[in-house]
Amino acid sequence: MPNTIVDLEMGFSKMVEKHLERYLALHKGGNIPPGLYYRVLEEVERTLFNVTLKYSNGNRLKAAQILGINRNTLRKKTANLGEKNIQYS
């Protein structure tokens, strides 16, 4: 069980690292689809927004405060990801 916030962050980083290594290993022949950077960012943002909006019961102002971003930035980013893909209920 992690004892500090640093342990939690390192755990997340390690998890992402292992997942990316596994993904790249599956494409060892060099047939990696382009755009990995943007796919990873989109998946992380979507998950981050889903969890935070769920935690705040769909309250975008509270979610934005938790995330440390402006409410309009949250609205814009969730719109860009496709509102129907953001599930917070």
Q: What is the pLDDT of residues 28-85, one digit of tens each?
A: 877 888 999 999 999 999 999 999 999 999 999 999 999 999 999 999 999 988 876 6
In the chain, how many domains are there? 2
Return all residues near 46 (Cβ < 8 A) that are at least 6 apart: 81, 85, 86
User: Does residue 41 share a domain with residue 28?
Assistant: no
Name the band, by pLDDT with cuts 50, 70 and 90, for residue 88: low
Are residues 23 and 41 both part of a single domain?
no
Say whether both 40 and 28 belong to one domain. no
* pLDDT class of 87 with cuts at 50, 70, 90: low
Distance CA 28, CA 18 (A): 15
Q: Are 58 and 89 in contact (CB under 8 A)?
A: yes
User: What phi and psi, each to the nearest 5 degrees, are found at residue 56?
Assistant: -90, 10
CA angle 10, 17, 40 (to 5 degrees): 110
